[in-house]
Amino acid sequence: MNDKKVYIVRCNKIIANVFDTKEKAFNSLPKKNDFTEVSQSVRTYDGEEAFIPTVDNFYLDTPIYVHVAEHTEEVMGLPIYYPQETCVYEIKEFNVK
């Protein structure tokens, strides 16, 4: 049998999407811009180590924190207010038979 893998993206413990590659799953996260910070931390022998994850360098099954700062953007001529928010994403790998 041919085993395949799928990658599930969870946002605040709710399934947000399913992808066939981990790169697609990571790229579905909100993009880093002037108002958005993305970070991931792992526990090492020296303690917690925080870093900015990239499509080539992130850990599966480990929380990815996406923090959006409070700001206002103009969309189609209307000001849209975005409150400060931190979402916890997680990308999990599953085998499908």
3-state secondary structure of 83: coil
pTM comes to 0.82
Closest CA to 55 of 88, 31, 27: 27
| pLDDT reported for residue 40 | 93
The DSSP-derived string for 38-69 is EEEEEEETTEEEEE--BTTB--TTS-EEEEE-
User: Per-residue pLDDT tens for 20-48?
Assistant: 999 999 999 988 788 889 999 988 888 88
State the pLDDT at residue 44: 82
- Band (pLDDT 50/70/90 cuts) for residue 2 is low
Q: What is the pLDDT of residues 62-84, one digit of tens each?
A: 999 999 999 898 889 999 998 99
